[in-house]
Amino acid sequence: MASTHEFQHTVGKTASFSGTALHTGEKVSLKLHPASPDHGIKFKRKDLQDEPTIDARINNLKTVERATTIGEGSVRVHTVEHVLAALWAMGVDNAIVEMDANEPPIGDGSAQPYVDLVKKAGVAAQEEPRKFFDVRDPMHVESKTGALLVLLPDDKFRISCTQAGPDNRFAQFLSTEITPAIFERTIAPARTFVYYEDVQPLMEKNLIKGGSLENAIVVRGEAVLSKEPLRFADEFVRHKILDVIGDLALVGRRIRGHLVAVKPGHAANADLARSISREQAQRSALSVTRAVPRGDGGFDTDAVMQILPHRFPFLMVDRIISFESETKCVGVKTVTINEPFFQGHFPGHPVMPGVMQVEAMAQVASILLFKLAKTTSRIGYFMSADGVKFRKPVLPGDTIFIHAELTKSRGERLAKAKCHCVVNDAVVSEGELMFTFLDR
């Protein structure tokens, strides 16, 4: 049996606190609620109609200018990095962060208020094992601003960070393992710092209405301006480590590796989080069984054709090979040189059109939705596709394994599914699809 810290954790009970939002200057209250295993961290906008939630995952990242903003559709939550850093470093895997504004309270500019909140709520173990990303090979990200992040194999999560301001002012270095006790004592109290020349235009535009010397350190020339003295001689590099932890929390898995970060920033941190997520997606594809089972685990071609209205040359699913759960299934499509689209799509270099891969995903997702609804009296119409990416060409002779997972359903009319196509153990395409249902 795994030791207790290898299990997922949530907060023990609901806890809340209030404060001022940095960019709007408005009063905001934030509540932490327990959540079920595999739920992850989700932000809930209590102030909006239907109280929408946003999954704190890298594919929902919207902007990284000065702070990390996540969103789904038109809904946004700004400056999430300090909340995420505290939850993640204190060992919380699953929680709902409910807010009555678009930004959490800034507190004193550190993660200390959120650590206090987690301690107030308590941390409770759950029965599901934790999900880890183990670094196998070095990964690195470089940016034009001079940021360099290198992730190396390690059996713990460790960060070695070098911070340097404009003209290399206030260069600082710190290397530390990240555990709840170390984070609480040495990283969480480190406050946000800004350079006067960077924030002056923001102040002139009235953009940081909640900002003051009580919740940030302002560096002007060689002078450090703040309401209270520095909490650590190297407070700046500690805050950079805090931000890195918060941004990498968007991976949604515990990282076991040693991050060497030189002049990190939100944009570079986000690039690394994306790289980790891509690598994880490829590993997940590898772990799926590649044998095509016979028998009751899925649907044969006849059963597929009873559900889908499509016929040659537009039926893009040969079989459904498994229903992994109520909300997940895998279909298969064998691509041959006889496909009609090869005659007109790069005839000298036959490549399966990306739009056909999206169609295959939509058809597999439709079958999943019909199985859930237990009726074929309605037709699922494909409405939109978000985050569609084509990673590798699909060629004649390839067998595509099409994975679909239902992520949201609203009543009996709307549904959303996350899909990806795998060939030879590599993800070749992916996207999030939305459907509506109409009676036949």
Q: Which residues are catalytic?
A: 266, 345
State CA 194 to chain mean position distance.
27
Please check whether residue 175 is in contact with residue 160, taking contact to mean a CB–CB distance below 8 angstroms.
yes
3-state secondary structure of 228: coil
Q: Which residues contact 260 (CB under 8 A, 6 or more apart)?
A: 149, 150, 151, 152, 160, 161
Please check whether residue 45 is in contact with residue 52, taking contact to mean a CB–CB distance below 8 angstroms.
yes
d(Cα 380, Cα 308) in Å, to the nearest integer?
9
3-state secondary structure of 181: helix
Beta bridge partners of residue 436, listed in sequence order: 381, 414
Annotate 151-183 with three-state secondary structure.
EEECCCEEEEEEECCHHHCCCEEEEEECCHHHH
Are β-strands 217-220 and 193-195 bridged in parallel, bridged antiparallel, or unpaired? Answer: parallel
3-state secondary structure of 229: coil
Please check whether residue 150 is in contact with residue 138, taking contact to mean a CB–CB distance below 8 angstroms.
yes
Question: HSE on the CB side for 161, CA within 13 Å?
Answer: 24
d(Cα 181, Cα 237) in Å, to the nearest integer?
18
